[in-house]
Structure 1
Amino acid sequence: MTDQDDTGAVRPLTLAWVNRQLNPGERVLRTEALHGGITAEMRRLTIGTRDGETRSLVLRTFVDPSFVAEAEDLLEREARALALLTATSVPAPRPVASDPTAARCEYPSLLMTHLPGRTVLDDQDVETRLRPLARQLVAVHALRPAERPRTYGAWTSADAVTAPDGADAAAWAAAADVIRRPAPPYDGRFLHRDFHPGNVLFDVSAPSPAGPRITGVVDWVQTSWGPADLDVAHCSTNLALLHGPSWGLRFAEAYEEAGGVLAAAADERLYWRLLDALAFASDVCSVARPWRQAGRAELTTRAVERRLDAYVTTLLYALG
């Protein structure tokens, strides 16, 4: 979704910086706020070219004080990831310019190319989107960069887990005990680390008998090195909260059907799934808000909390 605004929506220093990155004779014609992100402002910039045509760029800006402190690391990591991906088959934006320390902009910013397509979060035809999502994630995990990104960081711990109101307290205590154990051994893979339907663009203009086609994967600020299970777990949790717990389980199956390899032991798979799912409990409100902005009005904070509780219980039953 977008909210159209004028070029004044981009702060003056940042707009001047953007203008310096453009080709001679180009200028910013308009801006649009892109909804769906949690940690940063995202804007699409429509650029007028010398020959009267237009092209688009995307501007990421960190303004939330709780993230500005991390912005330098996050933006540098994303810029490196995007540079790496330009030589691969993974459809990702290309980096244009970066100001990770806000030396020239009001806030830390990254300018990148714009990709066609849009996110699809509807309940309709979920099954047809699972396969391309799974194939795309397998392709990400197949990358072998010359320089590995940093090792993944866990987003919660057993002692930090707080069950939502009305949740099955015994199940959540058991789930916390699972992630209290040391992390299982794993074969490292290149991880997106925030791979989910909200960060994947589909071509919705021309339905194909082959199924939906992915046109882009965005938001690479959390790029890491770690177990494939962790990326699969994150997408699975998002699918469970968007569409129901069974879809979280189904995505892991689709990933293996696409050639991906997950931990062999059920208890190891359970560890990674719960490590991700339990991290959602602390900030369900922020997770649900962009989904409602995208048209899923029924996904209130309380509704998503209930789905999270059901998913945690389902994981314990299916893999415990």
Structure 2
Amino acid sequence: MVNLSGKIQNWVINAVWAEANIVSIDRLKGSTSSTLHNIKLETDGEVKEVVIRQFDNKEWLQEEPDLAVHEAESLRKAADAGVFTPEIIAYDKSGGVSGVPLVLMSKLRGSVELKPVDRNKWLNGLAEALVKIHAVDAEDFPWSYFSYNDANEVEIPVWSTIPATWKKAIEIVKGPRPKVRECFIHRDYHPANVLWENGSVSGVVDWVNACAGPAGVDVGHCRWNLAMLYDVETADGFLAAYKNHGGPAFKYDPYWDLVSVIDVLFGPPEVYQGWVAFGVTGLTNKMMVERMDLYVESLVKRVYKA
């Protein structure tokens, strides 16, 4: 059993049920920016599972010191979506319990699926869940979308074999942003944050970045993940499925796909360790570079065809 400090354990027990006993504590795989544990408690003869997040990334906390409050409020807002999401149980915004902010939430059923037997059905499920999230109004939500990278400061990647295409991509993102209706967005929607059970989506997790923003940001981020994890065809399949579920209310613009790519441009692309933790094998950093170029090339072609 993974050990958590006595202070954290007591805080969890008091938040769940003062007379509960902790049965087990296990670290959850896949988290790369904070530490997550699954805790099983015995409560009056029944076993209850909860998840605790420790925000122990100092750099992230310096940039966003309200992370615990943000996730707590995001979970409350996400409860309005037509998908299963964790329920907020308690949070420590200042680190008074253990020195770092904490969020305690319910545990969802299901598991991450990155090797689907029926990829089209899987993409359809991913898209349908995201459309339901975007149906939530975010007019009163205090956190708003912002880009992680300033396109005016981004340079053409030296590792790319298609620098001229990247130059076009950056120039497009530097241009005017399309006017869109903002909605509630997850902001980190990708296959490793979606749970499945019996072939259907059973929940969506990791809501700490949720905000009011363009639906295209979520679509674009998920498409980039799919292009890197699989190929451009899979990313395009997800877009087609999202368009089908979103209907005429969704106005696709490849601008947001390119913004999502620029947002992750912090150096040569590497294999995301979250994929490795969930059993994906065979990927290399060289493949990530090749797939990034192929994806950007496909996006620039979309822009000039429009």
Provide the residue aligned with 1:189 in structure 2: 183
Task: Establish whether residue 220 from structure 1 lines up as the match of residue 207 from structure 2.
Answer: yes
| Aligned equivalent of 1:127 | 120
Tell whether 2:164 aligns with 1:201.
Answer: no
C-alpha spacing 1:301/1:16, structure 2 compared with 1 (3 Å): farther
- What pairs up with 1:119-158 in 2 under 5 angstroms? 119-122=112-115, 124-145=117-138, 147-158=140-151
Question: Are the equivalent residues in 2 in contact too, given 1:164–1:281 (CA < 8 A)?
Answer: no
Letter in 2 for 1:243: Y
Deviates more, 1:301-310 or 1:64-73: 64-73
> 1:25/1:147 Cα in 2 relative to 1: closer, same or farther (>3 Å)?
same
* Secondary structure at 2:141 match in 1: coil
1:55 counterpart letter in structure 2: K
**Offset at 1:145?**
4.6
Superposed CA RMSD:
2.0
The residue number in structure 2 matching 1:170 is 164
Given that 2:157 and 2:163 are in contact with CA atoms closer than 8 Å, whether structure 1 keeps it comes out as yes
Structure 1 segment 1-320 matched on structure 2, within 5 A: 5-6=1-2, 8=3, 10-51=4-45, 53-70=46-63, 72-122=65-115, 124-145=117-138, 147-158=140-151, 159-163=153-157, 165-203=159-197, 206=198, 212-260=199-247, 261-263=249-251, 269-282=253-266, 288-320=272-304
| SS, match of residue 215 in structure 1 | strand
What's the CA shift string for 1:19-46, capped at 9, x where partnerless?
2213132122211111212211111111
* One-letter code aligned to 1:33: R
Runs of 4+ deviating beyond 4 Å: 283-287
The 1:301–1:11 alpha-carbon spacing in structure 2 relative to 1, beyond 3 Å, is farther
Once residues 263 and 177 of structure 2 are traced to their aligned partners in structure 1, the CA distance between those partners, rounded to angstroms, is 15
- State, as a whole percentage, how many aligned pairs show the same letter: 28
TM-score, scaled to structure 1? 0.88
Structure 2 CA distance for aligned equivalents of residues 97 and 28 of structure 1: 17
Q: Which amino acid aligns with 1:213?
A: S
Report deviation, 1:192: 0.9
Q: For 1:94, give the aligned amino acid.
A: E
What displacement does 1:146 show?
6.3
Q: Determine if contact 2:195/2:201 at 8 Å carries over to the other structure.
A: yes
Cα distance, 1:164–1:246 mapped onto 2, change above 3 Å: farther
Count of aligned pairs between the two proteins: 302
Structure 2 distance, partners of 1:191, 1:183, is 17
Return the offset for 1:162.
Answer: 4.8
| C-alpha distance in 1 between matches for 2:82 and 2:109 | 16
State the alpha-carbon separation in 2 of the partners of residues 130 and 280 from structure 1.
22
Structure 1 residues 27, 146: CA separation in 2 closer, same or farther (over 3 Å shift)? farther
Q: Secondary structure at the match of 1:259?
A: helix
The offset of 1:90, in angstroms, is 2.3
Distance 1:287 1:105 in 2: 32
1:163, distance to aligned residue in structure 2 (A): 2.0
Asked if structure 2 preserves the Cα contact closer than 8 Å seen for 1:189 and 1:227, the reply is yes
The 3 A distance-change label for structure 1 pair 278 and 161 is farther
Tell me the alpha carbon deviations over residues 157-199 of structure 1, each in whole angstroms, 9 at most, x when there is no partner. 2222452624311111111111111222111111111111111
Superimposed CA distance per residue, residues 99-145 of structure 1 (whole angstroms, 9 cap, x where no aligned partner):
12102223111000000001111264221111111111111111125
1:209 aligned partner: none
> In structure 2, how many angstroms separate the alpha carbons of the residues matched to 1:103 and 1:76?
14
In the alignment, the residues of structure 1 paired with residue 80 and residue 258 of structure 2 have an alpha-carbon distance, to the nearest angstrom, of: 34
For the 8 Å contact 2:138–2:211, the answer to whether it is kept is: no
